[in-house]
Amino acid sequence: MKRLVSMWVKANYYLDNWKREEKGQALSEYAIIVGVIAVLIIATLILFKDALKSVFTRIINSLNGVGT
């Protein structure tokens, strides 16, 4: 009976350590995903900066006469 309890305690110990390692790994994976998404957004904004600039210029020009 003591041997069974000892095996149970060891199994729980190894499972707890394994769970902790997975949590840290998941956090670093999320950080990498967020970083990649940020780089993609910045690259997209740089690629389309002229088109975005003209869109916002048209919006500003159309709003200049509003409210006066």
Centre a 10 Å sphere on the Cβ of residue 9 and count the other Cβ atoms it contains: 10
pLDDT of residue 52: 94
Q: How many folded domains does the chain comprise?
A: 1
Q: Is residue 22 part of a domain?
A: no
Domain presence at residue 46 = yes
Question: What is the reported pLDDT for 23?
Answer: 56
Instruction: List pLDDT tens digits, range 14-47.
Output: 777 766 655 566 778 888 999 999 999 999 999 9
Give the pTM: 0.52
In angstroms, the Cα distances linking 26 to 13, 33, 34 are 20, 11, 12
Instruction: Say what the pLDDT of residue 20 is.
Output: 63
48 falls within a domain: yes
Q: How far apart are CA 61 and CA 42, in angstroms?
A: 26
Check residue 18 and give its pLDDT: 65
Residues spanned by the domain of 55: 36-61
The whole-angstrom separation of Cα 45 and Cα 39 is 10
Is 56 part of any domain?
yes
